[in-house]
Structures are given as structure tokens and as C-alpha cells.
Amino acid sequence: MKNRLTARTLKAKRNGEKLFCGYITLGYPNLSFTRNMILRMEEIGVDIVELGIPFSDPLADGPVIQAASEAALKKGVSPADAFRLCRDLRRDGLRLPVIFFSYYNPIMSFGASRFVREMKKAGFDGLIVPDLPPDEDIEFRKLISREGLAMVFLASPTTKDKRLIFISNASKGFIYYVSLKGVTGIRKNLSGDLGDQIRRIREVSDLPVLIGFGVSDPRQAHKASRCADGVIVGSAIIDAIRRSGGDIRKVSRLVERLVISTKSAGLSRGVKDRR
């Protein structure tokens, strides 16, 4: 079966479309909400779901996602719940690409080979491990590749040109551009050199580049998508879940606005974005 993530990003690139990836924390505020929110995201027009696995010692997550992870961990949420959830969603007809976001420790605790097999069986399409550089644990990368899954790697403002080439060659689906130094979180403004940084990546890679870390509202999503191939939004969605008390209608309204703003960046630039 064709990988849903790589198929979706390839289609977007071919058609000059912008991509919206929405992040949610597994089990926050509960597993039922996670399931229903993913289904709602597909209806709204989200292109990719990034499903974050709660972890007690996150490296890249800011306070909003940390708090969501802590709440989910207190309820005993684990990777096994993610596999079960995705498997059920696929049985119910979900076609949306779903990426597993996890730190390396839970993967090793679960067992790397078993973890990859379960990902494949459950219907995941890709994996992001923010504390696993592309030149570490090559055998794990081979496992991912053999199962037809995509591994997405991160680039940042401090990534050197030679390193960008290495990241581009290792990544599948897209490159995750970390737009600022520090952890995830809601920001008032985006970095002023986004355009230059995205151009620098495009000089060495044909993969779509999605901007994450700090994209916090529809205006920023539109602005970021004008210079990149789309955005990843996490903290703003998690904060909306918290503020709404898990009201899926209120969260959906924000996500829908983010999707529209992201997509309109492609329409406003037309064929200029097609490469």
C-alpha cells in the first residue's frame, strides 16, 4: 500500500497546494476526545495529523504541551493506546496521514522492532523523534524504511548547510523546520528571517518544508505558508482544548480557521509556489 504521507505531500507539491499539519496529544483530555478530534480534522480539511505520545521528560515541548502530556500520563496513556486508536480509526475509514510523534525513550522501552511493527499494523504513516538525529541508530531507520514508513527530521535556524543536505536525504514526506530557538509554544510574532531560511533549505532539498514551533494563529499560519509549503500547529490547538474544556466544536472552529488561512496562502500566490 502506498504511504499516505508521502502521497499527500507529493500531490500537494505537484498541485502547488499548502499543507496543514495539526498536532494533538494522545489522551488529552481523554482518548475519546482524541479519536473524535482526528475524525473532525479529516472533515475540516487537515492534511496531516501529528499524534503526540505523552512523555514525562520532553526535550522540545513547551509548557502547554507539557501540561497536556502530564494530564494524559496521570490517566495511564501509553503507546499501546496510540496503536489501538489508529487501528480503530483505519477500520472506520480514516484516510488522513497520521504521524507518530514520540521521544526515543518510550520507543526503546517498548522495543524498537516491536514498536515499528505495531506502527505499521495500526496504520501509522510516519514518525518524528525529535531527540533522535538522523545519524544515530541507523538500524532503527532501516526498520522504518523496510516497513514503508516515513521518518521526518527537523532542521533549525542553526543547522549548517552540509547538515541540511544530510537531513534532506534522510527525511521522507517533508522537512520539519523549527522556526525558532527553544521549545514549542504560542508566540506573538514569527521570526523575521523565515523566507531566507526556507530558501536555504530549498537550495538543497526538493522535499516540502513545513514550519513548526511558534505558529500560533491564522494570521501567522498564512504568513508562514507564503514562504514555506505549509505549517504545523500544536500548542495553539492544545491550548484551545484546555480553554474550551475539551469542547470539540470550539477547537474545531480554530482548526478550521487555521486550515483556511494556510490554504489561502497557496491560492494568493498561485503558480509561483509550484516548483
CA 82 from chain center: how many Å? Answer: 15
| Per-residue cell: 46 | 487537515
Known catalytic residue at 42: no
Domain assignment of residue 204, yes or no: yes
50 is catalytic: yes
Say which of 17, 47, 50, 239 is annotated catalytic: 50
Give the model's pLDDT for residue 191: 62
Q: In order along the chain (275 residues), what is the average pLDDT of each group of 10 residues?
A: 93 95 98 98 98 83 88 96 98 97 94 96 97 92 95 94 95 91 50 85 96 91 95 95 96 98 79 40
Residue of 47, 61, 118, 239 marked active site: 61
**For strand 126-128 and strand 98-101, is the pairing parallel, antiparallel, or unpaired?**
parallel
* Domain span at 244: 4-184+191-268
Is there a domain that residue 275 lies in? Answer: no
Note whether residue 273 is domain-resident.
Answer: no
Q: Is 21 contained in some domain?
A: yes
- The pLDDT score that the predictor gives to residue 192 is 66
What are the residues whose beta carbons fall under 8 Å from the beta carbon of 209, sequence distance 6 or more?
174, 175, 177, 198, 201, 202, 228, 229
* Structural domain count of the chain: 1
Q: Which helix (H) or strand (E) holds 258?
A: helix 248-269
Is residue 274 in a domain?
A: no
Assess if residue 66 is contained within a domain: yes
The reply to whether 79 falls in a domain is yes
CA distance 275 to 253: 32
pLDDT at residue 267, rounded to an integer: 72
pLDDT at 266: 86
What is the structure's pLDDT at 57? 76
Residue 47 sits in a domain whose CATH number is: 3.20.20.70
Q: Is residue 128 part of a domain?
A: yes
